[in-house]
Amino acid sequence: MAPPAHWRRAKERYRLLGSKCENCGSIYFPPTKVCPKCRRKGKMVQTEFSGRGKVFSYTIIHAAPKTFEKYTPYILALVELEEGPKVLSQLVDCRPEEVKIGMEVEACFRKLFEQDDEGIISYGFKFRPIDDSWRNKQSQN
């Protein structure tokens, strides 16, 4: 991939940005240019998410493409943000056997992958357990 393909979405990836329709208030992720509910009447603006949410579903990836191979087995989580939309990324600072649906998580800024030894290093959001709620639940168990 040429550098522009990485740069183009860097802002959304670094700050976890989505789209909001000012006409109906709907919030979308991935960012989109049209509100399917309002279409032409809609007015889309960029919106920033708090980054807090809950694990809606997860998987442990054992077989990964070369770019992600060194992270295997890694947790890929579908996170439902507190604003409603769902986002997908790795869940880090958490062992595969600890992840649970409903677990409270927050976005963190991490390296996503290195294209190759001399290629672009891509950054973006990943998720990690929110310390207090998660650790407390662990100790109760």
Residues that bind other proteins (CB under 8 A): 9, 28-30, 56-66, 68, 71, 73-74, 76, 78, 85-90, 96, 101, 112-113, 122, 124
Choice between 53 and 132, CB closer to other proteins: 53
Cβ 34 vs Cβ 44: under 8 Å: yes
Q: Give the 3-state secondary structure of residue 74.
A: strand
- Closest distance between other proteins and the C-beta of residue 95, in Å? 13
Choice between 71 and 134, CB closer to other proteins: 71
Tokens for 62? 């054992």
Choice between 3 and 73, CB closer to other proteins: 73
Burial class for 65, CB neighbours closer than 10 Å (0-12, 13-18, 19+): exposed
Q: Which residues contact residue 17 at a Cβ distance below 8 angstroms, ignoring those fewer than 6 apart? A: 11, 31, 46, 47, 48, 49
- Closest distance between other proteins and the C-beta of residue 54, in Å? 12
- Closest distance between other proteins and the C-beta of residue 67, in Å? 8
